[in-house]
Amino acid sequence: MPSLQDLRRRVKAVKNMRQITKAMKMVAAARLRRAQERVTAARPYTAKMMQILGDAAGRSPDYHDPLLTGHQRETSRENVVLALVTPDKGLCGGFNTNLIKAAQDFLRQNTGNNVEMVLIGRKGADFFRRRGVSIRREHLNLTGTGRVNAADATEVARQLIADFSSEDKPVDRIFILYGEFKSALSQRPTVEQLLPVGRIEIDKDETQSEILIDYLYEQPATVIFSELLPKLIENQVYHAMLESVASELGARMAAMDSASKNASDVIDRLTLNMNRVRQAKITREIIEVVSGAEAL
């Protein structure tokens, strides 16, 4: 049985750890509220952009662009890029593990293709760098502060577009994998195809009537369409990074809350053992005193 002094040291150590986990939970909760606000604020922009793209598509039903339809080349092995968004830090429960497992599942499902990875975040980079996976590029320290810089997301998106449009080694499809934020207790690994975007399906009759009422373009719809497609990709990457940050903070808040509760349980058990040891020590001393008195 551990000594009374050992138990006291353990109780003190666990209490110090509980203070740290409680502080981390409070910081994550404060950052999570701001991250949720940013995700919510970005949604109207995305919705309006899709509406404008739908209108432009209605004006130019025969418009074709590699970003929309792909390179249209015949090949038995596609060149695929997976952009994986992971946190730069840990202590967020199983969030990182779930993202990495989802990425490994994606790689297994695409063993017949040439797959390269673009790693956004240190945790994913540290893992796959040691696994012999073909890595095209790494982007580190973009989300470590709990914020997403739009300029960083734009740069990531532009490099992905450049990869897709490269003539030396064309990429057939680009996917992005990130943690979709459902709630502080629920985050889901999500894979979305970034490029090619694919044909935007709309109700032509409804769109034709809305176009005449809502929009007056100074340039041809094809020009508007070609300008907005890269912006759409940039927005999707930015949105994925926002969702990932919110998911990370939600997972960290839940993990630190669970750690604080577990620490409290450990403190209770250690305190109970400490009281038993102290009581046994006192009882033993009393017995020794009584035995000594009887001997006299």
Cite the active site residues: 92
How far is it, in rounded angstroms, from Cα 126 to Cα 155? 22
- Tokens read off for 290: 């009584």
Q: In whole angstroms, what is the distance from residue 283 CA to residue 76 CA?
A: 81
Sign, CA dihedral 118-123-126-128, equals negative
Strands 79-85 and 173-183: parallel
Contact 270, 7 (CB under 8 A): yes
| Burial state string for 59-92 with b = 16 or more CB within 10 A and e = fewer than 16 | bbeebeeebbebbeeeeeebbbbbbbbbbbeebb
Distance from C-alpha of 167 to C-alpha of 71, rounded to nearest angstrom? 10
